[in-house]
Each structure stands twice: as structure tokens, then as C-alpha cells.
């Protein structure tokens, strides 16, 4: 039995592989990558590499074996048919009869269009008949702290979320949850609603940035249309800007404020506070 991680050189996938290597021998882990060159460091640690692309079904031939435990990390390329991409992996896993198929999904409370592909993929996972685990990840801290340059340039946090709150967690927290599922038992047929222990508002985020920088950083709430225009003006593709503005609308509705405690229970520790993510980003 092997453990196979798709998208293994992505930001989440690499953390999952790192976590697995702390739990199991490297030769039991296969990293599915599009570019072996980007995975050279993983290969040097003894991880098996398999070159495949979600858009090329034949590239998954021979990858899976009966009993394997698989993590399907959702595709992230804007403009791609992600459901079709995910179907490629699910069909290959079904044909091989893998022992567990885990999928990184979106919160069940999220009604924004971003969730549509995830809901459709979940249905494919269920229809496959395979033992499964759905990891419904809330937002990552790093979505906000990963690019502080414009915030610091204007001393302003701008969003279209009003007083809405987000129960985000660190990317490493979600990776640890995936590792727990892939290496543990009793997760078959489970749907985990994963998120941070504490939901925060954008006003609180701005206040934390102010505290750590010693500067006056304010939260400016704008309309979804205005926010979309700001994002497009900053160089984001229109489709992606629309998705982000739509998510902010969901935040204002409280759809990402759900705190279940399931992430902390899976990883056996409290989730990473937003303040820690801010501090790491500022470093």
C-alpha cells in the first residue's frame, strides 16, 4: 500500500508530503507532479515521483494500485474545467480500487460560485463507490497574509465583506489534517468541516496588522462591484476577481465563520492563530 498525493509541488501538497515523511518511509509516498524538475528535492529525500497532468487522463495510467491511499488536491488553475480534471483522477482511482480517496473541498456552508466545482467533485467521489474522506477546507490565513505589500503601501485592508468573519487556519494546519487522514484509521465515509478555532473580522485583522507594524492600518469595506474593480485594476483576471468578490459576499453572510473544532481535533492541537500568520508574513 502506498500513499499518493496529487499536486505535490503546490503550496498545500508540498506541506502534506513533508508531513507524511515524518510518519512513513519515503518509499511509501508518491508525489504526482507536472514538472519533475520542481520536485527534485522530494526525489532526493526518497519520495517516488509520477509525472501526470489533470488534463491528460493517460498520464495517470498505472499510477494507482488496489489499497492505495490517495489525496486529490483540487486544481487551482483559473479558467480550467476543474470537475473534468478531478474526474480524471477519480476514474483512475476507481479502476484501480484504491483503499481511500481523500479530496480537498470547500466548506459545506459556502454558496459562492467557488464551491460549485467542489460540490460537483464531491458527487463524483461519492458515485465512485470508493472509500472516501471529504476535507472541506475553510479559507487559508495565507490568502490574506501572503501578499501584504498593497496593504502596507496604502495602510488599508480593503474587502467587500462588511462585518463578516472568517474562520481561517494556516495552510500547514490543513496539511496536517490531510496527513492524519492518510496515515490514520476510521476516516472512511467521513466529511470534515475544517477551519480555524476562532473566526475573525477584517476590522480585527487590520487591528492586528496595526499592532504588529506600529502603523495605523484601517479596514475599508467597499461594495462587491467596487472590490472587483480594484482587483482587476491590480492585474487579476476578471473571472478570478469576480470569484474573490463573490467569496467576500459569502463572508458577509457568515458562510465562512463556522467553527466546528474538527480541524483541531484531527491535528491534535489548536489551530494556528491569525496573529502568528501575520507575524510570519511580516518576517
User: Which of 17, 133, 132, 2 lies closest to 66 in space, CA to CA?
Assistant: 2
- CA-CA distance, 26 to 5, in Å (whole number)? 13
Residue 149 neighbours by CB under 8 Å, 6+ apart: none
Residue 19 neighbours by CB under 8 Å, 6+ apart: 175, 176, 178, 179
- CA-CA distance, 1 to 103, in Å (whole number)? 19
Every domain of the chain and the residues it spans: 3-138+171-193+259-268
User: Are residues 55 and 85 in contact, defined by beta-carbon separation less than 8 angstroms?
Assistant: yes
Q: What is the mean pLDDT of residues 254-269?
A: 97
Q: What is the mean pLDDT of residues 120-124?
A: 97
C-alpha cell at 211: 499592532
pLDDT tens readout for residues 180-235? 999 999 999 999 999 999 999 999 999 999 999 999 999 999 999 999 999 999 89
- Structure confidence at residue 80 as a pLDDT band (50, 70, 90): confident
Mean pLDDT value across the chain: 96
Q: How many CB atoms lie within 10 A of CB 41?
A: 11
Residue 177 neighbours by CB under 8 Å, 6+ apart: 135, 192, 194, 263, 266, 267
Find out if CATH 3.40.50.300 is the number for domain 3-138+171-193+259-268: no
C-alpha cell at 236: 487579476
Which residue has 479502476 as its cell numbers? Answer: 95
pLDDT tens readout for residues 3-41? 999 999 999 999 999 999 999 999 999 999 999 999 999
C-alpha cell at 4: 499518493
Which residue has 461519492 as its cell numbers? Answer: 126
Q: Is the pLDDT of residue 77 over 90?
A: no
The strand pair at 165-166 and 200-201 is best described as: antiparallel
- CA-CA distance, 150 to 157, in Å (whole number)? 9
Quote the distance between the C-alpha of residue 181 and its chain's center: 15
Amino acid at each position: 500500500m502506498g500513499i499518493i498525493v496529487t499536486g505535490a509541488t503546490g503550496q498545500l501538497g508540498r506541506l502534506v508530503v513533508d508531513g507524511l515523511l515524518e510518519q512513513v518511509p519515503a518509499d511509501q509516498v508518491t508525489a504526482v507532479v507536472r514538472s519533475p524538475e520542481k520536485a527534485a528535492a522530494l526525489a532526493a529525500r526518497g519520495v517516488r515521483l509520477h509525472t501526470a497532468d489533470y488534463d491528460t487522463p493517460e498520464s495517470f495510467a498505472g499510477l494507482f494500485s488496489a489499497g492505495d491511499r490517495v489525496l486529490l488536491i483540487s486544481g487551482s488553475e483559473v479558467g480550467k474545467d476543474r470537475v473534468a480534471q478531478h474526474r480524471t483522477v477519480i476514474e483512475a482511482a476507481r479502476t484501480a480500487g484504491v483503499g481511500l480517496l481523500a479530496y480537498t473541498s470547500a466548506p459545506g456552508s459556502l454558496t459562492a460560485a467557488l464551491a460549485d466545482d467542489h460540490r460537483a467533485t464531491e458527487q463524483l467521489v461519492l458515485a465512485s463507490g470508493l472509500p472516501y474522506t471529504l476535507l472541506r477546507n475553510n479559507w487559508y490565513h495565507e490568502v490574506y497574509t501572503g501578499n501584504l505589500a498593497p496593504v502596507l503601501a496604502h495602510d488599508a485592508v480593503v474587502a467587500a465583506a462588511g462585518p463578516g468573519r472568517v474562520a481561517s487556519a494556516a495552510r500547514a494546519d490543513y496539511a496536517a489534517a490531510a496527513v492524519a487522514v492518510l496515515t490514520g484509521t476510521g476516516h472512511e465515509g467521513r466529511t470534515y468541516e475544517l477551519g480555524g478555532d476562532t473566526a475573525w473580522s477584517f476590522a480585527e485583522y487590520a487591528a492586528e496588522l496595526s499592532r504588529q507594524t506600529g502603523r495605523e492600518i484601517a479596514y475599508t469595506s467597499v461594495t462587491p462591484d467596487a472590490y472587483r474593480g480594484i482587483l482587476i485594476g491590480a492585474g487579476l483576471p476578471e473571472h478570478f476577481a469576480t470569484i474573490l468578490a463573490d467569496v467576500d459576499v459569502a463572508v458577509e453572510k457568515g458562510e465562512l465563520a463556522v467553527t466546528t473544532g474538527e480541524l483541531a481535533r484531527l491535528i491534535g492541537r489548536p489551530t494556528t492563530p491569525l496573529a502568528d500568520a501575520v507575524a510570519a508574513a511580516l518576517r
